Protein backbone atom coordinates (compact mmCIF):
# COMPACT_ATOMS: atom_id res chain seq x y z
CA UNK A 1 0.00 0.00 0.00
CA UNK A 2 1.32 3.38 -0.93
CA UNK A 3 0.58 6.24 1.34
CA UNK A 4 -0.61 9.11 -0.77
CA UNK A 5 -1.59 12.64 -0.08
CA UNK A 6 -2.76 15.57 -2.16
CA UNK A 7 -1.74 19.19 -1.93
CA UNK A 8 -4.39 21.42 -3.51
CA UNK A 9 -3.99 25.14 -4.10
CA UNK A 10 -7.24 27.10 -3.64
CA UNK A 11 -7.50 29.98 -6.06
CA UNK A 12 -10.30 32.52 -6.29
CA UNK A 13 -9.67 34.05 -2.87
CA UNK A 14 -10.60 37.74 -3.23
CA UNK A 15 -8.48 40.62 -1.95
CA UNK A 16 -8.95 40.51 1.82
CA UNK A 17 -10.18 43.52 3.83
CA UNK A 18 -10.04 44.18 7.57
CA UNK A 19 -12.82 42.34 9.37
CA UNK A 20 -13.34 39.74 6.65
CA UNK A 21 -14.22 36.25 7.86
CA UNK A 22 -11.45 34.13 6.40
CA UNK A 23 -13.21 30.89 7.31
CA UNK A 24 -16.25 31.85 5.22
CA UNK A 25 -14.09 33.15 2.36
CA UNK A 26 -12.11 29.89 2.29
CA UNK A 27 -15.25 27.73 2.34
CA UNK A 28 -16.74 29.82 -0.50
CA UNK A 29 -13.57 29.58 -2.61
CA UNK A 30 -13.35 25.83 -2.07
CA UNK A 31 -16.99 25.41 -3.06
CA UNK A 32 -16.58 27.61 -6.14
CA UNK A 33 -13.64 25.39 -7.13
CA UNK A 34 -16.00 22.42 -7.23
CA UNK A 35 -14.44 20.90 -4.12
CA UNK A 36 -15.74 20.25 -0.62
CA UNK A 37 -13.89 20.45 2.66
CA UNK A 38 -13.53 17.03 4.24
CA UNK A 39 -12.89 15.80 7.77
CA UNK A 40 -9.16 15.69 8.56
CA UNK A 41 -8.21 18.17 5.85
CA UNK A 42 -5.32 20.41 6.80
CA UNK A 43 -6.08 23.97 5.63
CA UNK A 44 -3.01 26.16 5.19
CA UNK A 45 -3.33 29.93 5.00
CA UNK A 46 -0.58 32.41 4.11
CA UNK A 47 0.12 34.94 6.84
CA UNK A 48 -0.48 38.03 4.72
CA UNK A 49 -4.19 37.36 4.20
CA UNK A 50 -4.60 36.70 7.92
CA UNK A 51 -2.83 39.98 8.69
CA UNK A 52 -5.11 41.79 6.27
CA UNK A 53 -8.28 40.27 7.73
CA UNK A 54 -7.14 41.13 11.24
CA UNK A 55 -6.38 44.74 10.40
CA UNK A 56 -2.63 44.35 10.81
CA UNK A 57 -1.85 46.39 7.70
CA UNK A 58 -0.75 49.94 8.51
CA UNK A 59 0.51 53.01 6.76
CA UNK A 60 4.27 53.35 7.01
CA UNK A 61 3.60 56.96 8.04
CA UNK A 62 1.84 55.63 11.16
CA UNK A 63 5.29 54.76 12.52
CA UNK A 64 7.27 57.65 14.03
CA UNK A 65 10.92 56.60 14.07
CA UNK A 66 12.59 56.55 17.47
CA UNK A 67 16.25 57.50 17.92
CA UNK A 68 17.09 53.79 17.80
CA UNK A 69 15.14 53.34 14.54
CA UNK A 70 16.95 56.32 12.98
CA UNK A 71 20.30 54.89 14.04
CA UNK A 72 19.51 51.45 12.55
CA UNK A 73 18.06 53.04 9.44
CA UNK A 74 21.36 54.83 8.85
CA UNK A 75 23.27 51.55 9.19
CA UNK A 76 20.97 49.34 7.12
CA UNK A 77 19.65 51.80 4.54
CA UNK A 78 16.07 50.79 5.38
CA UNK A 79 13.23 53.31 5.62
CA UNK A 80 13.30 54.55 9.26
CA UNK A 81 9.52 54.01 9.56
CA UNK A 82 9.95 50.42 8.44
CA UNK A 83 12.69 50.01 11.04
CA UNK A 84 10.39 51.50 13.69
CA UNK A 85 7.71 48.91 12.83
CA UNK A 86 10.33 46.15 12.98
CA UNK A 87 11.52 47.31 16.41
CA UNK A 88 7.97 47.57 17.78
CA UNK A 89 7.35 43.94 16.78
CA UNK A 90 10.65 42.69 18.20
CA UNK A 91 11.73 41.72 21.68
CA UNK A 92 15.37 41.98 20.56
CA UNK A 93 17.69 42.21 17.59
CA UNK A 94 19.45 38.88 17.03
CA UNK A 95 21.79 39.80 14.15
CA UNK A 96 22.35 42.78 11.89
CA UNK A 97 24.53 42.98 8.79
CA UNK A 98 24.29 44.98 5.57
CA UNK A 99 20.60 45.67 5.14
CA UNK A 100 19.57 42.52 6.99
CA UNK A 101 17.95 42.78 10.42
CA UNK A 102 17.18 39.47 12.15
CA UNK A 103 14.97 39.86 15.21
CA UNK A 104 13.16 37.76 17.74
CA UNK A 105 9.46 38.60 17.57
CA UNK A 106 7.01 38.63 20.44
CA UNK A 107 5.90 35.18 19.23
CA UNK A 108 9.44 33.86 19.66
CA UNK A 109 10.02 33.63 15.91
CA UNK A 110 13.55 34.48 14.80
CA UNK A 111 13.26 35.96 11.33
CA UNK A 112 14.13 38.88 9.07
CA UNK A 113 12.46 42.23 9.87
CA UNK A 114 10.20 40.78 12.61
CA UNK A 115 8.13 39.44 9.71
CA UNK A 116 7.12 43.04 8.87
CA UNK A 117 6.56 42.97 5.12
CA UNK A 118 6.30 45.66 2.47
CA UNK A 119 5.28 43.16 -0.26
CA UNK A 120 1.72 42.46 -1.34
CA UNK A 121 0.15 45.31 0.63
CA UNK A 122 0.49 48.32 -1.66
CA UNK A 123 2.77 51.35 -1.79
CA UNK A 124 3.42 53.04 1.55
CA UNK A 125 1.80 50.20 3.48
CA UNK A 126 3.23 47.57 5.76
CA UNK A 127 1.88 44.23 7.01
CA UNK A 128 2.68 43.05 10.53
CA UNK A 129 2.38 39.42 11.58
CA UNK A 130 -0.88 38.45 13.32
CA UNK A 131 -0.77 39.25 17.04
CA UNK A 132 -1.45 35.62 17.97
CA UNK A 133 -1.23 33.29 14.95
CA UNK A 134 -2.35 30.27 17.00
CA UNK A 135 -5.51 32.18 17.87
CA UNK A 136 -5.91 33.18 14.22
CA UNK A 137 -5.72 29.52 13.22
CA UNK A 138 -8.23 28.58 15.92
CA UNK A 139 -10.70 31.20 14.71
CA UNK A 140 -10.51 30.03 11.11
CA UNK A 141 -10.84 26.44 12.22
CA UNK A 142 -13.92 27.26 14.26
CA UNK A 143 -15.54 29.19 11.40
CA UNK A 144 -14.90 26.36 8.95
CA UNK A 145 -16.25 23.85 11.47
CA UNK A 146 -19.43 25.88 11.97
CA UNK A 147 -20.02 26.38 8.25
CA UNK A 148 -19.25 22.85 7.06
CA UNK A 149 -19.62 20.58 10.09
CA UNK A 150 -16.16 19.20 9.25
CA UNK A 151 -13.28 18.74 11.65
CA UNK A 152 -10.16 20.22 10.11
CA UNK A 153 -6.76 21.50 11.19
CA UNK A 154 -5.58 24.99 10.27
CA UNK A 155 -1.98 26.18 9.85
CA UNK A 156 -0.93 29.80 9.30
CA UNK A 157 2.26 29.88 7.22
CA UNK A 158 5.02 32.33 6.46
CA UNK A 159 8.16 32.06 4.36
CA UNK A 160 11.33 32.47 6.42
CA UNK A 161 15.03 32.34 5.74
CA UNK A 162 17.19 30.22 7.99
CA UNK A 163 20.81 29.87 9.04
CA UNK A 164 23.27 27.80 6.99
CA UNK A 165 21.03 27.28 3.97
CA UNK A 166 20.10 29.51 1.07
CA UNK A 167 16.50 30.18 0.17
CA UNK A 168 13.49 30.62 2.39
CA UNK A 169 11.08 27.83 3.25
CA UNK A 170 7.49 28.08 4.36
CA UNK A 171 6.96 27.34 8.05
CA UNK A 172 4.05 27.17 10.49
CA UNK A 173 3.73 30.34 12.56
CA UNK A 174 0.33 29.33 13.94
CA UNK A 175 -1.76 26.19 14.08
CA UNK A 176 -4.94 24.75 15.54
CA UNK A 177 -6.32 21.22 15.70
CA UNK A 178 -3.06 19.45 14.95
CA UNK A 179 -0.13 18.33 17.05
CA UNK A 180 2.69 20.33 15.39
CA UNK A 181 5.51 17.99 16.43
CA UNK A 182 5.45 14.24 15.98
CA UNK A 183 7.36 12.90 18.93
CA UNK A 184 8.81 9.50 18.08
CA UNK A 185 11.31 9.26 20.89
CA UNK A 186 11.13 5.82 22.41
CA UNK A 187 9.98 4.13 19.20
CA UNK A 188 12.25 1.50 17.71
CA UNK A 189 13.99 1.29 14.36
CA UNK A 190 14.06 -1.61 11.87
CA UNK A 191 16.60 -3.40 14.04
CA UNK A 192 14.90 -2.82 17.37
CA UNK A 193 17.18 0.07 18.31
CA UNK A 194 15.41 2.88 20.14
CA UNK A 195 15.16 6.07 18.09
CA UNK A 196 17.05 8.69 20.01
CA UNK A 197 16.07 12.12 18.95
CA UNK A 198 13.23 11.72 16.57
CA UNK A 199 10.98 14.69 16.87
CA UNK A 200 9.64 15.70 13.49
CA UNK A 201 8.11 19.13 12.98
CA UNK A 202 5.27 18.03 10.76
CA UNK A 203 3.58 21.44 10.95
CA UNK A 204 6.59 23.00 9.22
CA UNK A 205 6.73 20.14 6.72
CA UNK A 206 3.04 20.63 5.88
CA UNK A 207 3.67 24.37 5.48
CA UNK A 208 6.57 23.67 3.12
CA UNK A 209 4.47 21.23 1.10
CA UNK A 210 1.74 23.87 0.80
CA UNK A 211 4.06 26.49 -0.64
CA UNK A 212 4.66 24.21 -3.62
CA UNK A 213 1.09 24.97 -4.77
CA UNK A 214 0.64 28.41 -3.27
CA UNK A 215 3.31 29.83 -5.55
CA UNK A 216 3.32 33.06 -3.59
CA UNK A 217 0.59 35.56 -2.88
CA UNK A 218 1.08 37.51 -6.11
CA UNK A 219 -0.44 34.65 -8.06
CA UNK A 220 -3.43 34.75 -5.75
CA UNK A 221 -3.19 31.29 -4.17
CA UNK A 222 -2.99 32.12 -0.47
CA UNK A 223 -4.73 28.94 0.70
CA UNK A 224 -3.98 25.26 0.24
CA UNK A 225 -5.56 22.04 1.43
CA UNK A 226 -3.52 18.95 2.27
CA UNK A 227 -5.71 15.89 2.11
CA UNK A 228 -4.85 12.34 3.12
CA UNK A 229 -2.33 13.14 5.84
CA UNK A 230 -2.91 11.34 9.10
CA UNK A 231 -2.21 13.62 12.06
CA UNK A 232 -2.85 13.75 15.75
CA UNK A 233 -5.50 16.25 16.87
CA UNK A 234 -4.26 18.58 19.58
CA UNK A 235 -4.90 21.99 21.05
CA UNK A 236 -1.16 22.73 21.06
CA UNK A 237 -0.28 25.70 18.93
CA UNK A 238 2.79 26.52 16.87
CA UNK A 239 4.15 28.24 20.00
CA UNK A 240 5.30 24.76 20.93
CA UNK A 241 7.68 24.73 17.95
CA UNK A 242 9.64 27.71 19.26
CA UNK A 243 12.78 26.36 20.88
CA UNK A 244 13.33 28.06 24.23
CA UNK A 245 16.51 30.16 24.35
CA UNK A 246 18.06 27.91 27.01
CA UNK A 247 17.74 24.86 24.71
CA UNK A 248 19.09 26.71 21.70
CA UNK A 249 22.74 26.53 20.62
CA UNK A 250 22.62 29.30 18.03
CA UNK A 251 21.42 32.52 19.71
CA UNK B 1 -7.89 26.36 -11.69
CA UNK B 2 -6.43 24.75 -8.62
CA UNK B 3 -2.84 23.73 -8.73
CA UNK B 4 -2.64 20.23 -7.35
CA UNK B 5 0.14 17.82 -6.66
CA UNK B 6 0.39 14.34 -5.28
CA UNK B 7 2.90 12.94 -2.82
CA UNK B 8 3.09 9.17 -3.11
CA UNK B 9 5.02 6.92 -0.75
CA UNK B 10 6.61 3.92 -2.47
CA UNK B 11 6.59 0.85 -0.28
CA UNK B 12 8.02 -2.55 -1.08
CA UNK B 13 11.63 -1.40 -1.25
CA UNK B 14 13.71 -4.38 -0.01
CA UNK B 15 16.56 -4.10 2.50
CA UNK B 16 19.38 -2.50 0.52
CA UNK B 17 22.85 -4.09 0.21
CA UNK B 18 26.14 -2.55 -0.91
CA UNK B 19 26.33 -2.38 -4.69
CA UNK B 20 22.57 -2.49 -5.23
CA UNK B 21 21.26 -0.42 -8.13
CA UNK B 22 18.79 1.92 -6.43
CA UNK B 23 17.41 3.15 -9.74
CA UNK B 24 16.39 -0.37 -10.72
CA UNK B 25 15.04 -1.16 -7.25
CA UNK B 26 12.91 2.01 -7.30
CA UNK B 27 11.54 1.30 -10.77
CA UNK B 28 10.69 -2.28 -9.73
CA UNK B 29 8.95 -1.12 -6.55
CA UNK B 30 6.96 1.52 -8.43
CA UNK B 31 5.89 -1.05 -11.02
CA UNK B 32 4.94 -3.58 -8.35
CA UNK B 33 2.79 -0.89 -6.76
CA UNK B 34 0.79 -0.68 -9.98
CA UNK B 35 2.22 2.74 -10.82
CA UNK B 36 4.47 3.98 -13.57
CA UNK B 37 7.14 6.64 -13.43
CA UNK B 38 6.17 9.69 -15.48
CA UNK B 39 8.09 12.55 -17.07
CA UNK B 40 8.66 15.40 -14.58
CA UNK B 41 8.17 13.19 -11.51
CA UNK B 42 10.36 14.18 -8.59
CA UNK B 43 11.75 11.02 -6.96
CA UNK B 44 12.83 11.46 -3.35
CA UNK B 45 15.10 8.94 -1.67
CA UNK B 46 16.02 8.78 2.02
CA UNK B 47 19.74 9.08 2.65
CA UNK B 48 20.09 5.83 4.60
CA UNK B 49 19.22 3.58 1.64
CA UNK B 50 21.67 5.52 -0.54
CA UNK B 51 24.38 5.09 2.09
CA UNK B 52 23.65 1.38 2.24
CA UNK B 53 23.79 0.96 -1.55
CA UNK B 54 27.05 2.90 -1.70
CA UNK B 55 28.71 0.81 1.00
CA UNK B 56 28.80 3.67 3.51
CA UNK B 57 27.71 1.43 6.40
CA UNK B 58 30.61 0.43 8.65
CA UNK B 59 31.23 -1.44 11.85
CA UNK B 60 31.66 0.90 14.79
CA UNK B 61 34.74 -1.16 15.61
CA UNK B 62 36.31 0.01 12.33
CA UNK B 63 36.82 3.40 13.99
CA UNK B 64 39.83 3.69 16.32
CA UNK B 65 39.20 6.68 18.59
CA UNK B 66 41.80 9.42 18.42
CA UNK B 67 42.77 11.43 21.54
CA UNK B 68 40.32 14.10 20.40
CA UNK B 69 37.53 11.53 20.03
CA UNK B 70 38.23 10.18 23.53
CA UNK B 71 38.17 13.69 24.95
CA UNK B 72 34.82 14.49 23.28
CA UNK B 73 33.42 11.10 24.24
CA UNK B 74 34.16 11.87 27.89
CA UNK B 75 32.33 15.21 27.59
CA UNK B 76 29.32 14.03 25.62
CA UNK B 77 28.90 10.46 26.87
CA UNK B 78 28.86 9.18 23.28
CA UNK B 79 30.63 5.98 22.24
CA UNK B 80 34.23 7.06 21.38
CA UNK B 81 34.10 5.10 18.10
CA UNK B 82 30.94 6.96 17.13
CA UNK B 83 32.69 10.23 17.97
CA UNK B 84 35.66 9.17 15.83
CA UNK B 85 33.33 8.56 12.85
CA UNK B 86 31.70 11.95 13.46
CA UNK B 87 35.09 13.70 13.52
CA UNK B 88 36.29 11.94 10.36
CA UNK B 89 33.21 13.20 8.52
CA UNK B 90 33.52 16.75 9.85
CA UNK B 91 35.58 19.72 8.77
CA UNK B 92 34.89 21.34 12.13
CA UNK B 93 32.78 21.25 15.25
CA UNK B 94 30.23 24.07 15.20
CA UNK B 95 28.64 23.62 18.64
CA UNK B 96 28.81 21.12 21.47
CA UNK B 97 26.55 20.90 24.53
CA UNK B 98 25.37 18.02 26.67
CA UNK B 99 25.43 15.02 24.36
CA UNK B 100 24.84 17.12 21.25
CA UNK B 101 27.63 17.59 18.70
CA UNK B 102 26.85 19.90 15.78
CA UNK B 103 29.45 19.74 13.01
CA UNK B 104 30.02 21.05 9.54
CA UNK B 105 30.41 18.11 7.17
CA UNK B 106 32.62 17.94 4.13
CA UNK B 107 29.47 18.66 2.09
CA UNK B 108 28.98 21.93 4.00
CA UNK B 109 25.95 20.61 5.87
CA UNK B 110 25.66 21.82 9.46
CA UNK B 111 23.94 19.07 11.39
CA UNK B 112 24.09 16.79 14.43
CA UNK B 113 26.82 14.14 14.45
CA UNK B 114 27.99 14.87 10.88
CA UNK B 115 24.89 12.93 9.83
CA UNK B 116 26.54 9.74 11.17
CA UNK B 117 23.61 7.61 12.25
CA UNK B 118 23.26 4.57 14.46
CA UNK B 119 19.58 4.06 13.58
CA UNK B 120 18.27 1.67 10.95
CA UNK B 121 21.60 -0.07 10.33
CA UNK B 122 21.77 -2.76 13.00
CA UNK B 123 23.60 -3.14 16.31
CA UNK B 124 27.25 -2.12 16.25
CA UNK B 125 26.93 -0.55 12.82
CA UNK B 126 27.01 3.04 11.67
CA UNK B 127 25.84 4.78 8.48
CA UNK B 128 27.79 7.70 7.07
CA UNK B 129 26.27 10.16 4.62
CA UNK B 130 26.96 9.50 0.93
CA UNK B 131 30.34 10.91 -0.13
CA UNK B 132 28.72 13.08 -2.82
CA UNK B 133 24.91 13.13 -2.54
CA UNK B 134 24.54 15.19 -5.73
CA UNK B 135 26.42 12.48 -7.58
CA UNK B 136 24.25 9.84 -5.89
CA UNK B 137 21.13 11.66 -7.12
CA UNK B 138 22.59 11.93 -10.61
CA UNK B 139 23.32 8.20 -10.73
CA UNK B 140 19.80 7.25 -9.65
CA UNK B 141 18.34 9.72 -12.14
CA UNK B 142 20.43 8.26 -14.95
CA UNK B 143 19.45 4.68 -14.05
CA UNK B 144 15.76 5.57 -13.93
CA UNK B 145 16.09 7.41 -17.24
CA UNK B 146 17.74 4.43 -18.90
CA UNK B 147 15.19 1.94 -17.55
CA UNK B 148 12.03 3.94 -18.21
CA UNK B 149 12.89 6.54 -20.86
CA UNK B 150 11.39 9.16 -18.52
CA UNK B 151 12.95 12.44 -17.53
CA UNK B 152 12.75 12.81 -13.78
CA UNK B 153 14.42 14.75 -10.99
CA UNK B 154 15.95 12.99 -7.99
CA UNK B 155 16.42 14.38 -4.48
CA UNK B 156 18.33 12.64 -1.67
CA UNK B 157 16.81 13.62 1.68
CA UNK B 158 17.82 13.58 5.32
CA UNK B 159 16.06 14.72 8.45
CA UNK B 160 17.94 17.51 10.23
CA UNK B 161 17.36 19.64 13.29
CA UNK B 162 17.74 23.38 12.97
CA UNK B 163 18.36 26.41 15.15
CA UNK B 164 15.49 28.20 16.88
CA UNK B 165 12.81 25.62 16.16
CA UNK B 166 11.99 22.28 17.74
CA UNK B 167 11.74 19.14 15.68
CA UNK B 168 13.68 18.03 12.66
CA UNK B 169 12.53 18.56 9.09
CA UNK B 170 13.50 16.64 5.99
CA UNK B 171 15.86 18.55 3.69
CA UNK B 172 17.60 17.97 0.36
CA UNK B 173 21.22 16.89 0.81
CA UNK B 174 21.61 16.01 -2.87
CA UNK B 175 19.69 16.58 -6.07
CA UNK B 176 19.86 16.12 -9.82
CA UNK B 177 17.71 17.40 -12.67
CA UNK B 178 16.03 20.18 -10.71
CA UNK B 179 16.96 23.74 -9.87
CA UNK B 180 16.98 23.55 -6.05
CA UNK B 181 16.30 27.24 -5.46
CA UNK B 182 13.55 29.22 -7.15
CA UNK B 183 14.98 32.68 -7.58
CA UNK B 184 12.15 35.20 -7.79
CA UNK B 185 14.17 38.33 -7.16
CA UNK B 186 13.11 41.01 -9.60
CA UNK B 187 9.56 39.71 -9.95
CA UNK B 188 6.76 42.00 -8.88
CA UNK B 189 4.06 41.59 -6.27
CA UNK B 190 0.30 42.15 -6.59
CA UNK B 191 0.85 45.91 -6.39
CA UNK B 192 3.79 46.10 -8.81
CA UNK B 193 6.37 46.31 -6.05
CA UNK B 194 9.57 44.39 -6.80
CA UNK B 195 10.01 41.34 -4.55
CA UNK B 196 13.18 41.94 -2.61
CA UNK B 197 14.55 38.73 -1.26
CA UNK B 198 12.46 35.98 -2.70
CA UNK B 199 14.57 32.92 -3.08
CA UNK B 200 12.61 29.82 -2.20
CA UNK B 201 14.39 26.56 -1.48
CA UNK B 202 11.95 24.32 -3.26
CA UNK B 203 14.27 21.29 -2.98
CA UNK B 204 13.97 21.46 0.81
CA UNK B 205 10.21 22.02 0.56
CA UNK B 206 9.87 18.96 -1.68
CA UNK B 207 11.96 16.95 0.79
CA UNK B 208 9.73 18.07 3.66
CA UNK B 209 6.60 17.19 1.70
CA UNK B 210 8.02 13.73 1.01
CA UNK B 211 8.61 12.97 4.66
CA UNK B 212 4.87 13.24 5.25
CA UNK B 213 4.44 9.95 3.37
CA UNK B 214 7.80 8.35 4.06
CA UNK B 215 6.96 8.10 7.73
CA UNK B 216 10.57 7.14 8.51
CA UNK B 217 12.69 4.27 7.33
CA UNK B 218 11.47 1.84 9.98
CA UNK B 219 8.13 1.65 8.23
CA UNK B 220 9.93 0.77 5.04
CA UNK B 221 8.91 3.76 2.90
CA UNK B 222 12.30 5.19 1.94
CA UNK B 223 11.15 6.52 -1.44
CA UNK B 224 8.43 8.97 -2.49
CA UNK B 225 7.26 10.46 -5.76
CA UNK B 226 5.95 14.00 -6.04
CA UNK B 227 3.84 14.34 -9.15
CA UNK B 228 2.37 17.48 -10.65
CA UNK B 229 4.99 19.93 -9.45
CA UNK B 230 6.34 22.23 -12.13
CA UNK B 231 10.08 22.77 -11.70
CA UNK B 232 13.00 24.09 -13.68
CA UNK B 233 15.44 21.44 -14.94
CA UNK B 234 19.02 22.17 -13.96
CA UNK B 235 22.32 20.46 -13.39
CA UNK B 236 22.86 22.42 -10.18
CA UNK B 237 23.13 20.19 -7.16
CA UNK B 238 22.09 20.67 -3.56
CA UNK B 239 25.59 22.04 -2.97
CA UNK B 240 24.10 25.29 -4.18
CA UNK B 241 21.81 25.38 -1.13
CA UNK B 242 24.74 25.51 1.27
CA UNK B 243 25.15 29.13 2.34
CA UNK B 244 28.81 30.12 2.20
CA UNK B 245 30.28 30.97 5.62
CA UNK B 246 30.91 34.59 4.60
CA UNK B 247 27.18 35.08 3.84
CA UNK B 248 26.06 33.37 7.02
CA UNK B 249 25.15 35.28 10.18
CA UNK B 250 24.96 32.28 12.51
CA UNK B 251 28.30 30.43 12.46
ipTM of the complex: 0.95
Residue A148's contacts (CB-CB under 8 Å, 6 or more residues apart) are A27, A36, A37
Using one digit for the tens of pLDDT, what is the confidence trace for B22-59?
999 999 999 999 999 999 999 999 999 999 999 999 99
Confidence of residue B146 (pLDDT cuts 50, 70, 90): very high
C-alpha A23/C-alpha A29 separation (Å) is 10
CATH topology of domain B58-127: CofE-like fold (3.90.1660)
Q: In which residue ranges of chain A is pLDDT below 50?
A: 217
Domain residue spans of chain A: 6-55+130-244, 58-127
Instruction: Tell me how many helices (H) and strands (E) chain B has.
Output: 6, 12
| Per-residue pLDDT, B185 | 78
Q: What is the mean pLDDT of residues B114-118?
A: 92
User: What residues of B are in contact with residue A166 (Cβ under 8 Å)?
Assistant: 181, 199, 201, 240-243, 247
User: What's the pLDDT at A114?
Assistant: 96
Nearest CA among B119, B120, B125, B100 for reference residue B110: B100
The pLDDT value recorded for residue B182 is: 92
Q: Is the pTM of the predicted complex or chain greater than 0.90?
A: yes
Is the CATH code 3.30.1330.100 the one for domain B6-56+131-242? yes
CB–CB of A4 and B5 under 8 A?
no
Asked if residues A198 and A185 have their Cβ atoms less than 8 Å apart, the reply is: yes
Which chain B residues touch A190 with a CB distance below 8 Å? Answer: 120, 217-218, 220
Round to whole Å and give the CA distance between A3 and B213: 6
Closest chain B residue to A96 measured between Cα atoms?
B249
Residue B161: closest CA among B210, B113, B218: B113
pLDDT of residue B128: 97
- Dihedrals φ, ψ of A99, to 5°? -100, 10
Residues 74-93 of A with CB under 8 A from B: none
Question: How far apart are alpha carbons B240 and A106 in whole angstroms?
Answer: 33
- The pLDDT score that the predictor gives to residue B48 is 92
Of the listed ranges A19-28, A117-126, B198-207, B221-230, the least confidently predicted one is A117-126
One DSSP character per residue, B144-177 reads HHHHH----EEEEEEEE--SSBSSBEEEEEEEES
In Å, how far are A10, A20, B200 from B2, measured between CA atoms? Answer: 6, 22, 21
Nearest CA in chain A to B171: A205
Q: Which of the 8 DSSP states describes residue A169?
A: E
Domain A6-55+130-244 has CATH 3.40.50.300: no
The larger pLDDT score, comparing residue B215 to residue A131, is at A131
Would you state the pLDDT for residue A1? 53
Query: Can you give the pLDDT at residue A119?
Result: 81
Amino acid sequence: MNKRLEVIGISGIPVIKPGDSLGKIIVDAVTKSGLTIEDRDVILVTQVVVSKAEGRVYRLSDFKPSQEALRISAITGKDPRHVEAILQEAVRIVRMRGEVIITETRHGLICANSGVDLSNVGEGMVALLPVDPDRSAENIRREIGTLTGKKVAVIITDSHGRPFRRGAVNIAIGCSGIEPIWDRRGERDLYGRTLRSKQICIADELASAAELVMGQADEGVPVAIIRGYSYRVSEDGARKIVRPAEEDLFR
